[in-house]
A and B are shown apart, each in its own frame.
Chain A
C-alpha cells in the first residue's frame, strides 16, 4: 500500500491559518473515519494531535482541527504560533496503518 501524499512544506506568519492536505486512494481514506495526525519535533517522538478525523486528545489546543472530504483529509492550524513549527504526519487505518510522507510547517 502506497504512502499517503502530503505537501512537503507549508508556511505562514504568526496568527495566520495553514492547512495541510493528505491524499490517499478510495481504499485509504474515503471509506473510513480512522484518520489521525501527528506532530513531531526534531529528535522527538510523534505526538497525536487529531484522531478519528476530527477529535482532539485532551491537552491539544483547539487551534488544531481536522476534516475529511472524499479521498483527502486535512489538518488546519488556526492562529499559527512559533511552537507549531514542526513536521506533521497524517495516518490512515483501513485494516493496516499507512502514514503520509510528512509536511514541514514553517512559521515565518
Chain B
C-alpha cells in the first residue's frame, strides 16, 4: 500500500524558515518523481515544487528562490525547505507522487499545516 506521511508543519513568523518532510512507503521510491502541492482551505490546490527520479527540480515563479525540494533515496524521504516565509504561504502542504513520467499526482499524503503569522 502506497503511503506518504508528511511532518514539519507549524506556526512560523514572517521571514522565518521551515523544513517539511515526507516519508514514502509501499513503492520503489527511487523511480518516481515527487512533488509538493499546497492548498488554502476553500481554494484550489497550488503546485509548489517537484523533483524527478533523476534529481532535477522544478518550481513555479511564485516560490522560486525561496523554496528548495530535495530527496534522500536512502531514507525514502522528500523534503521541502522553505525560507523567507510570507503570510500568503499559509496553507496545507501535501506531498504527492507523480504518475510517470510527470503529468499528474496519483497518491497524496494527509497534509501538514503551515501557518505564517506574527
Contact = CB atoms under 8 A, between A and B. Distances in A.
Nearest to A93: B103
A101 B44 contact: yes
Contact of A36 (B43, B94, B104, B107): B104
Contact of A89 (B44, B94, B107, B109): B44
Interface residues of B, number: 22
Given A34-B104, A45-B108, A51 B99 contact: yes
Interface in A20-57: 34, 36, 38, 45-48, 51-52, 57
B12 interface: no
Contact of A45 (B35, B46, B94, B104): B94
B60 A36 contact: no
Interface string B22-62: 00000000000001010000011111001000000010100
Contacts of A108: none
Interface size classification for chain A? 20 to 34
B44 A36 contact: no
Contacts, number: 57
B76 interface: no
Contacts of B35: 97
Contacts of A36: 103-105
Given A48-B104, A93-B103, A96-B60, A102 B44 contact: yes
A91 interface: yes
24 contacts: A1-B60, A3-B44, A34-B103, A34-B104, A38-B105, A45-B110, A46-B45, A46-B105, A48-B99, A51-B99, A51-B104, A51-B106, A52-B103, A57-B106, A89-B45, A93-B103, A93-B104, A96-B47, A96-B58, A99-B45, A99-B46, A101-B43, A102-B43, A102-B44
Interface of B: 35, 37, 43-47, 50, 58, 60, 94, 99, 102-111
